């Protein structure tokens, strides 16, 4: 088995993730310019022409900014649920009818030997989703832009080998920050973003012996820091006797300005 991925960019300035195996390559979200996405792919020695499809989590600009231009330029199929497509129609320009692909929430799709499965999350978008990716018994989970981890989300993310999990903000930094209160309230709500502490609590509830690494993603540039996110999530887990990198998963960073290294779910 050979499922691997790189987080090309993560955060409010733009999101894109590349997931691949021996036969398929798919992009999840296109929240940067088409030119920037091509540049980030090239940094990981992948050409846009090698992609099989783009999957969309939801219609917010930091996830679809370059979607229309990128998909049109490279004639790529774009997958989203019907409600998200309705919202996208006003934002990304024309996509050829044979490239407008509907993957309803909860459904799965096989692209050669890779399986992509969608699941519902809580966020202030039309019908936001997370995704899980499978190659044989390998499983990669993606869960960002969710206000809280529901029981169904936790069940969906159990038994992952690797997880990309939102750790958006430190609650006190957000409360003291410059944002107007209505935006702070939205971020803190059940349809907003996961705090570091909420990420830690949710992570503890889905821990399994399979979970090796957790990438902390979608960090706020104003109300979080890499070291703070790792420390906060680790601290929550330690309260339950779980030590990251020891009897618990290793916590990994993601970045808004550069891609992560390729990571294989399991060693060859």
Give the model confidence (pLDDT) of 13-22 as tens digits. 999 999 999 9
pLDDT in tens, 233-264: 999 999 999 999 999 999 999 999 999 999 99
Quick check: helix, strand or coil at residue 93? coil
Query: What distance in Å separates the CA atoms of residue 60 and residue 146, rounded to the nearest whole number?
Result: 13
Is the pTM here over 0.85, yes or no?
Answer: yes
pLDDT in tens, 81-140: 999 999 999 899 999 999 999 999 999 999 999 999 999 999 999 999 999 999 999 999
Q: Give the structural domain span for 31.
A: 4-264
Q: Which residues contact 132 (CB under 8 A, 6 or more apart)?
A: 116, 117, 119, 139, 140, 141, 142, 156, 157, 160
Question: How many Å separate Cα 48 from the centre of its chain?
Answer: 19
**Residue 267 burial (CB count, 10 A):** 5
Indicate the pLDDT class of residue 266, thresholds 50, 70 and 90: confident
Please give the mean pLDDT across all residues of the chain.
97
Tell whether the model's pLDDT for residue 267 goes beyond 80. Answer: no
Query: What distance in Å separates the CA atoms of residue 117 and residue 130, rounded to the nearest whole number?
Result: 8
Average pLDDT for residues 50-76, to the nearest whole number?
98
Q: Which residues contact 115 (CB under 8 A, 6 or more apart)?
A: 108, 109, 133, 134, 135
Overall number of domains in the chain: 1
**Nearest-CA neighbor of 226 among 264, 258, 180?**
258
Instruction: Write down the pLDDT at residue 151.
Output: 97
Q: Which residues contact 83 (CB under 8 A, 6 or more apart)?
A: 126, 127
Instruction: Write down the pLDDT at residue 1.
Output: 53
Task: Give the CB-side neighbour count of residue 155, counting CA atoms within 13 A.
Answer: 6
Instruction: Write down the pLDDT at residue 11.
Output: 96
Handedness of CA 182, 185, 190, 191 (dihedral sign): positive
Instruction: Write down the pLDDT at residue 46.
Output: 98
The CATH number that applies at residue 75 is: 3.60.15.10
Instruction: Write down the pLDDT at residue 87.
Output: 97
pLDDT in tens, 206-225: 999 999 999 999 999 999 99
Query: What distance in Å separates the CA atoms of residue 254 and residue 262, rounded to the nearest whole number?
Result: 12
């Amino acid at each position: 088995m050979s499922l691997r991925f790189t987080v090309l960019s993560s955060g409010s300035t733009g999101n894109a993730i590349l997931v691949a195996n021996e036969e398929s390559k798919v992009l999840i979200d296109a929240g940067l310019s088409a030119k920037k996405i091509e540049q980030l792919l090239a940094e990981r020695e992948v050409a846009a022409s090698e992609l099989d499809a783009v999957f969309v989590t939801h219609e917010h600009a930091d996830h679809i900014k370059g979607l229309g231009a990128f998909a049109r330029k490279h004639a790529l199929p774009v997958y989203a649920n019907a409600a998200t497509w309705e919202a996208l129609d006003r934002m990304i320009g024309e996509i050829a009818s044979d490239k407008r692909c509907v993957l309803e929430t909860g459904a799965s799709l096989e692209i050669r030997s890779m399986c992509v499965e969608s699941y519902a999350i809580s966020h202030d978008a039309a019908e936001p989703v997370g995704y899980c990716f499978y190659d044989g018994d390998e499983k990669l989970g993606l869960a960002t832009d969710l206000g809280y981890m529901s029981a169904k989300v936790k069940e969906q993310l159990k038994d992952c080998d690797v997880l990309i999990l939102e750790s958006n903000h430190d609650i006190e930094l957000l409360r003291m920050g410059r944002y107007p209160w209505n935006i702070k309230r939205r971020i803190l709500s059940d349809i907003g973003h996961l705090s570091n502490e909420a990420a830690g609590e949710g992570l503890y509830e889905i821990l399994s012996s399979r979970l090796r690494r957790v990438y902390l993603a979608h960090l706020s540039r104003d109300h979080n820091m890499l070291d703070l996110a790792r420390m906060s999530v680790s601290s929550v887990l330690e309260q339950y006797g779980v030590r990251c990198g020891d009897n618990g998963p290793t916590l990994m960073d993601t970045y808004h300005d550069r891609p992560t290294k390729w990571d294989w779910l399991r060693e060859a």
